Amino acid sequence: MLTETQSLRPKKLAWIQSLLLPVLVAALLIAALYKWIEWEPAFLRPSHNELFQVRNGTWQRLPELRGEVETLRVSAGGTVWALYWHNTVGSELARLDRPSWRVFKPADFGTPGVDLSGGFVMDGEQVWAATGEGVLHWDGHHWNCYRDAIGKEGASSIAVANGKVWVIDDSGNLSHFDGSQWTRQKVELPGAKWDSSEDYSSPELALTDDGSLWIVRDGVWRSDGPQWVAAKLDGEDLTDASLVGSTGKGVWLWSDGSLLLVGPGGTLEEFGSADMGFSARESLNEVVRTGDRTYAATTLGIREFDGVKWRRLASPRNGVKSVVSIRADAGGGLFAIGNIPNPRARLGRFLQAAVPLALSLGLLVVPVWMVRRHKRDRLTEHQRLQQAVAHATGAVPEEFARDERLLQRQSSWWAATAAVGVVVGAMMAYSITRFFWPAEPPWMFLAIALALHAVVTLGQTLVRRTPKPWDPIEPGGPRFDWAPTLRAVPASLVVFVLMNFGAVQKWMGDPIRLLYVIPAMMWYWFFEQVVMNSAIRRGDYDGALRVVRRFRFCNPEGGAALRQRGLVLLIAGRFGEAEVALRRAVATLRSRAAQARALEYLGDVLLEQGRYEDAQRSYEAALHALPGFRRPYRGMAELLLRQGGDPARALECVENIVGSSGPSRNRFTLNGQSRDDYWSLKAWALAEAGRGAEVERAVAEAIKFTTSKSGPDLAATYRRLGLAMHAMDRQAEAEEYWKKAKDADPHGRWSALARAALGEKSVWRV
């Protein structure tokens, strides 16, 4: 026997486990991944840069900056500026105001973000920086952003002298500031293809003391008025030369292991690696000049040139192995960026790969767990329905067994992983293909997702397994099982819409309008219920059946339509037809709420046919199918009172109709308006139990809460009140109530019972 106490009660706050908890875990994992990337301490990196002041062969560490120092500049007055990269923030500028740094952030610049890939330069005490937003200028007190100085591509290099500024981008657009306004022109380099799709290097600008402006890009070019002249040196190929500095004497280039000084007049000085005393694994990073000395930052330290020969300065201290950048102040002091290798780099490389990978896999586990949990819940609900149907009908339809096998496959870890993996794999594959095919159309994401869906499904057919009895016998073997990844198809569509929201909006208008379908459908079914109930209240049962047929035109033999039809036939007293419709509905429905109501209606049909044991099982099955469902207790109380056996048990069922706290508003959608049935059945049960003093109040409450505009409700109430009066031997009042019941609904279920009571009064007494 199935009872409510045996059924799985609804878990309190189950939504916390099914939705809030996974979302919280995912948020924590994302926050942890973000913090890990933002943190990136020095011990995780293969090496890190630090700032030093070099004086008399002594390396003194400057205050630490929280980030990776990239570029160093020193003003004419000796003020040190540094450009550094800060994870999750980007480029930031800092000025050394001893004993600490003053950091300038995007808020100081008045821009949403700063991309200082074009670098920055000094002009006396002023700072000029090339960014993606424009050209930044520090006048010693405030920052100003010249947004119209460059085009959309952003600057790649900047040069400045005596208040005049030049900025160039990767397309060869050169902007010039003469102190009052900006002008822009296209640089025409003989043989250069600025807009070519080939992978050319970014141009670099340099200025020399004679006012010459230089461009280093696949060669060396000097401005000669409106023309650009290539520096052509006998025997020297400058195509692959890189700019490492500019001084009054010319521009310094590093090319094929040699340091070249190209002068304005086309002069050339060359210093080979052997001349500079370089080892086999040493290369040059930057060159500066102060006074009569030239200094070169190399991968093994600092080299000094006095005009005659090169010599190595004191070896770096503090673990510095390489000097990335070097600058000199007016007093001859040197400032350097030293690169310090990390002896624990192997552990750092492992953690850098392992931690983000573990957090990313954790993020993938969350949706997999949610999909699997959802399917497991669906499987549990289906098994409950299957138990209920088996208890009510004595057999389980083959459709239920087939659906259970399908849900068991879908609720496995493999199926959940496949469903999520198709979406995630499609996103990754789409990103990879976009890298090689920038013009890839958006619909390729859907094509990739469908291809993965097919690959996973077809791949399952290659896995050998023991044939099952339920496998269909077909030519070529069983059909493909699309279930494991079927849920990925709608998820892929959602991701596609989110990725291409603007394009979808252009194609079909606001996609949010699609959500209007949900309330529209709700209103549609609500209107059907209102029109059907209106016909039932009038006693127009044929009209109610027509309403069901017209509103359910798309699927007139579906479970929902059969349940509605069975209800109308039950109230109309056509019990044979109602049983056929409801049994078909029970075999078709999969919703717990709809199934529970169908089982309750089937119990009422069996009750009216005198099949009390079958009716009891159907009521018990309805209670089992949907925890919290109390409507079946009405039929169970009616059944006990008709049998005349145990009024006390009948009263217990009556109290269960509304629960221990009485009628609850939050159960209205589940159990409907139950107070009229509660009070009318209670009056009958109290009368049968001999508690006549309490009957009058129950009768008054039953009449009070019964809708006067509903014939079936009035007939049900009056018929039960008549039985209560009959139990107390108040025959005249009983007949009066039965006559009211007969007149309230002349053609329905309850009036037929009232007429039977009027013609055979003794049948209700044992």
Place of tokens 């992978």: 199
Rounded CA separation 304/301 (Å): 10
Q: Report the alpha-carbon distance of residue 680 to residue 634 in Å, rounded.
A: 10
pLDDT in tens, 157-208: 899 988 899 998 888 889 999 888 899 888 888 777 776 445 567 889 998 8
What are the pLDDT digits (tens) for 434-443? Answer: 777 777 677 6
**Per-residue confidence band for 631, with pLDDT thresholds at 50, 70 and 90:** confident
| Cis preceding-peptide flag for 99 (omega within 30 of 0) | yes
Residue 130 pLDDT? 84
Question: To 5 degrees, how large is the angle CA 639–CA 660–CA 388?
Answer: 50
SS3 state at 416: helix
Q: Is the pLDDT of residue 406 over 70?
A: yes
Predicted confidence at residue 166, as pLDDT, reads: 92
Range of weakest confidence among 1-5, 61-65, 316-320, 673-677: 1-5
> Average per-residue pLDDT in the chain?
81
Which whole number is the average pLDDT over 499-508? 59
The burial class, CB within 10 Å (0-12 / 13-18 / 19+), for 488 is buried
* pLDDT value at residue 456: 66
DSSP class of residue 666 equals: G
Does the pLDDT of residue 40 top 70, yes or no?
A: no
568 CB-side CA count, 13 A: 24
The answer to whether residue 127 scores a pLDDT higher than 90 is: yes
- Residue range 409-428: mean pLDDT, rounded: 79
Alpha-carbon distance of 281 to 342, in angstroms, equals: 19
Written as one letter, the residue type at 430 is Y
Is the predicted pLDDT of residue 115 greater than 80, yes or no? no
Given the structure tokens 């949900």, which residue do they identify? Answer: 518
C-beta atoms surrounding 648 within 10 Å: 11
d(CA 669, CA 227): 84
pLDDT computed for residue 134 by the predictor: 83
Run of H or E including 304: strand 301-305
Cα–Cα–Cα angle for 311, 315, 316, nearest 5°?
Answer: 130
Among candidate residues 734, 755, 745, 255, the one with its CA nearest the CA of residue 535:
745
Euclidean distance between the first and final Cα of the chain, in Å?
27
Walk me through the domains of the chain, giving residue ranges and CATH numbers: 58-279 (2.130.10.10), 630-766 (1.25.40)
- Alpha-carbon span 135 to 133, nearest angstrom: 7
State residue 9's pLDDT score.
Answer: 46
Q: What number is the average pLDDT over the span 478-503?
A: 58
CA distances to 82, 295, 316, 328 from 50, rounded to whole Å, are 11, 19, 12, 17
For 349-363, the pLDDT digits (tens) are 777 778 888 888 888
For residue 217, the one-letter residue type is R
Spacing of C-alpha 32 from chain mean position = 17
- Which amino acid appears at position 364 of this protein? L
Structure tokens at 28: 């924590």
Residue 624, pLDDT > 80, answer yes
Closest CA relative to residue 51, chosen from 28, 74, 24, 29: 74
What is the average per-residue pLDDT within 360-386?
Answer: 84
pLDDT of residue 508: 56
Q: How confident is the model at residue 568 (pLDDT cuts 50, 70, 90)?
A: very high
Element (H, E) at 187: none
567 or 663: which leads in pLDDT: 567
The predicted pLDDT at position 428 comes to 79
pLDDT at 468: 52
Q: What is the pLDDT of residue 488?
A: 57
H/E stretch holding 729: none
Q: What is the pLDDT of residue 491?
A: 61
Give bridge partners of residue 310 from the DSSP assignment: 305
Q: Which tops the pLDDT comparison, 592 or 541?
A: 541
Which long-range contacts link 295-303 to residues 24+ away (Cβ below 8 Å)? Answer: 295/326, 295/328, 295/334, 296/244, 296/259, 296/326, 297/323, 297/324, 297/325, 297/326, 297/336, 298/322, 298/323, 299/323, 302/54, 302/326, 302/334, 302/336, 303/276, 303/277
- For 107-116, 281-290, 453-462, which range has the lowest pLDDT when averaged over its residues? 453-462
- Encode pLDDT of 252-303 as tens digits: 999 888 898 888 777 888 898 888 888 888 889 999 988 888 999 999 889 9
Q: What's residue 457's pLDDT?
A: 64
Backbone angles phi, psi at 335, to 5 degrees: -125, 140
659-715 pLDDT per residue, tens: 765 554 444 455 666 788 889 999 999 998 888 889 999 999 999 988 888 899 999
pLDDT tens digits, residue range 214-257? 999 888 888 877 788 888 776 677 888 889 998 877 899 998 88
Strands 242-247 and 250-255: antiparallel
- Cα-based torsion angle of the residue sequence 698, 699, 705, 708 in order, rounded to the nearest 10 degrees: 170
Residue 526 in contact with residue 490, Cβ under 8 Å? no
Predicted confidence band at 490 (pLDDT cuts at 50, 70, 90)? low
Identify the CA nearest to 69 among candidates 54, 51, 45: 51
In this prediction, residue 763 carries a pLDDT of 39
